[in-house]
Amino acid sequence: MLLEIENLAVEVAGKRVLKDINLSIDEGETHVLLGPNGAGKSTLFLTILGFPQYNVVNGTIKFKGKDITNLTTAERVQLGIGVSFQSPPSIRGVSVRDLLKIESHQEINEPLNARMLELAQKLKFNDEFLDRDVNFGFSGGEVKRSEILQLLAQMPDFTMFDEPDSGVDIENVELIASEIGTLLDKDLKHDSRKRSGLLITHLGYILNFVSADKAHVLMDGKIACSGNPAEIIEDIRKEGFNGCVECAQCIK
Ligand code: ADP
Ligand code: MG
Ligand code: MG
């Protein structure tokens, strides 16, 4: 198992937000996390990443067989966890180009490598754009495309996305979704490692482009239901989140 979360309970600002979460993601699998606003989706994401405000009061998180519950965020990233934030911070004084060099382990005084230049072009960034400060004054779509580009520089073993489709127009959603597909590639076209991921999304368009192995519905800090993504999504579309939880397809 690549990621193994057992009996996880998390408090944020003194409030119990996650209550007894159990979730396992195997190598090569992509899971989808669904759920109403305020259910705790971003909390789970930031807890896996190890943000210190998210206080683990019970349970464990294992990654590649190692207990990472008490590791720092930097240590988790080092182990192969990559993230695309819902609202990433801007970094004044650091250009997109330089950040891409750092993330793809290049020397800062060398020109950005051809693979990254090609990917930048594919994500509709021109050369001038690469010299802008990271996320500073970027549009919603530019922020998301830039996050994906940074992840493509890192190619993490496990990548988490927090609503990569929110605030992005249809045309860019397709572009982002297809590159998320590259990051979670099961066909091993890029190299020999099996990539895995966790995708938090509204019931969006993005799932038409990214194939998911399993979906989980998070409600009120608990996983209410897990199962086949297409079936769960159809239930939610028809009957809302409560309808899904009550349906017969759920593997409790
Ligand atoms: P979701 O991503 O599913 O919409 P969140 O994980 O963002 O839900 O939030 C779950 C609950 O935890 C909400 O009630 C939210 O207000 C609370 N919460 C999350 N992060 C913080 C924080 N940093 N400080 C205080 N409350 C928080
Ligand atoms: Mg995969
Ligand atoms: Mg959220």
Residue 110 placed within a domain? no
> What band does 252 get if pLDDT is binned at 50, 70 and 90?
very low
Residue 77 φ then ψ, to 5°: -60, -40
**Predicted pLDDT of residue 207:** 83
Residue 95 placed within a domain? no
Residue 98 placed within a domain? no
Stretch 54-77: mean pLDDT, rounded?
97
Closest-CA residue, ligand 1 atom 13, reads 38
Stretch 70-81: mean pLDDT, rounded?
95
**Predicted pLDDT of residue 251:** 47
Stretch 196-210: mean pLDDT, rounded?
83
- Is there an atom of ligand 1 within 6 Å of 221 CB? no
Q: Find the domain containing 13 and state its range.
A: 3-89+158-246
Classify residue 196 as exposed, middle or buried by CB count within 10 Å of its CB (0-12, 13-18, 19+): buried
From the CA atom positions of the chain, what is the Rg in Å? Answer: 18
Nearest Cα residue to 94 out of 162, 139, 146: 146
**Tell me, what CATH number does 176's domain have?**
3.40.50.300
Structural domains in the chain (count): 1
**pLDDT digit string (tens) for 5-20?**
999 999 999 999 999 9
In this predicted structure, the answer to whether residue 249 has a pLDDT above a threshold of 80 is no
Nearest Cα residue to 162 out of 238, 83, 73: 83
Residue 123 placed within a domain? no
- What is the pTM assigned to this prediction? 0.90
Residue 139 placed within a domain? no
Higher pLDDT, 246 or 234: 234
- Closest ligand 1 atom number to CA of residue 44: 6
Residue 148 placed within a domain? no
Residue 240 placed within a domain? yes
- Closest ligand 1 atom number to CA of residue 53: 23
On average, the pLDDT of the chain sits at 89
Instruction: Compute the distance from residue 120 Cα to the ligand 3 centre, in Å.
Output: 27
- Is there an atom of ligand 1 within 6 Å of 17 CB? yes
Ion ligand 2: residues, Cβ under 5 Å: 28, 184, 186, 195
Residue 207 placed within a domain? yes
Stretch 44-56: mean pLDDT, rounded?
96
The partner residues of 37 in beta bridges, in order of sequence, read none
